[in-house]
Amino acid sequence: MSDKLIIGSRGSKLALVQAESVAANVRHAKPNLEIQIRKIVTEGDRNIAVNIEEAGGVGIFVKALEDALIKCEIDMAVHSLKDLPVLLPDELGLIAVTERSDPRDVLVASETINRLKPGAIIGTSSVRRSAQLRNIRPDLQTMGIRGNVDTRLRKVASGEIDGIIIAAAAMLRLGRADEITEYLPLDHFVPAAGQGALAIEARRGDKFVADIAVSINHVTTWQAVTAERAFVDYLGGGCSAPISCIAVVEDGVLIITGMVSDREGKNMLKDHVEGDAGDPEMVGRLLAEKMLSEGAKVIVDEIRCR
């Protein structure tokens, strides 16, 4: 068995903080293991001007890491789980997740959502966030925004835009919680599947890494995000429709809430189901089937045809 583990990560400050947190978990479980973090530049980092959807979705942040895994240049890759596509290369698998941080979205602005002036410009590159914002404040404008967390926050501080919507977990991990204006309620802003959790991706059949993964995997988070990813997959999460969900596990019961919307936030559907946390994929599919029967299929198909 090897005595060295190479963890692959994007090179941003947030990504490295996340990779180091996984490394700390591994050190605690395997104190005699030598750990190295290797920075990998992804297409999403290399070209911050490109539109995420036009470039193939959030997968642009993971492909270079996956290539490094397949070439055996790294042993595991650490991702923000919300950035990891549901469909992975045949050679790779999602083998563990960390305990989830706060899954909510937050607003960084001079005012709360309800008090922002009509016409205020809110930066977000997420169609999901834009649709949910337009649903409750159709008088606000949204602007696509890319770049790391520091870059986005500077745009607010300089007055270039009036605010940004960003994951609470990102702000918390960077120690910038004091800059959060408002934690956005889950009943109005359903987060992306997996938001707040870190994903560990590795080569299938790698017993060395699999043994490490067992020691750091957070079971209830795994159950919750497995249901969420099954929900997105069943709905056809590769499309550009605003689709989101959040699951929680309480006393062996998994409760998952989903949202599907058109891009304008005018035709929005939300629902939830409960089920056995021991079969999270089934619970996620159950919610997807329920929402498809309630009209989600029409919403998703209309966006696919554009």
What pLDDT does residue 256 have?
98
The residue-averaged pLDDT of 257-277 equals 96
Nearest to 235 by CA among 227, 243, 223: 243
Examine domains 105-183 and 232-304 and report if their fold is the same: no
pTM attached to this predicted model: 0.92
Alpha helices in the chain (DSSP H): 13-29, 43-46, 63-70, 127-136, 149-157, 168-173, 207-216, 219-235, 280-291, 297-304
CATH number of the structural domain 4-99+197-217: 3.40.190.10
What pLDDT does residue 46 have?
57
The tens digit of pLDDT for each residue in 13-71 reads 999 999 999 999 999 999 999 999 999 987 656 555 554 444 445 567 799 999 999 99
The tens digit of pLDDT for each residue in 232-241 reads 999 986 556 7
* pLDDT at position 306 over 80: no
* pLDDT at position 243 over 70: yes
Q: Rounded CA gap, 101 and 103, in Å?
A: 6
* pLDDT at position 111 over 50: yes
| H helix and E strand count, the chain | 10, 13
Percent of the chain with pLDDT over 70: 92
CATH number of the structural domain 232-304: 3.30.160.40
Q: Are strands 76-80 and 268-276 parallel, antiparallel or unpaired?
A: unpaired
Burial string for 182-200 (b: 16+ CB within 10 Å, else e) reads bebeeeebbbbbbbbbbbb
CA distances from 190 to 132, 155, 300 (A): 8, 25, 17
The tens digit of pLDDT for each residue in 139-159 reads 999 999 978 899 999 999 999
Q: In three state form, how does the secondary structure of 179-206 look?
A: HCCEECCCCCCCCCCCCCCEEEEEECCC
The tens digit of pLDDT for each residue in 179-201 reads 999 999 999 999 999 999 999 99
What pLDDT does residue 55 have?
43
The tens digit of pLDDT for each residue in 62-95 reads 999 999 999 999 999 999 999 999 999 999 999 9
Question: Per mean pLDDT, which range of 147-151, 226-230, 242-246 is the poorest?
Answer: 147-151
The answer to whether residues 241 and 303 touch, using CB atoms and an 8 Å cutoff, is: yes
CATH fold label, 105-183: D-Maltodextrin-Binding Protein; domain 2 (3.40.190)
CA distances from 54 to 29, 83, 192 (A): 41, 15, 19
CA distances from 33 to 19, 173, 208, 260 (A): 16, 25, 11, 44
Q: Which residues are designated catalytic?
A: 83
What pLDDT does residue 48 have?
54
Domain borders along the chain are: 4-99+197-217, 105-183, 232-304
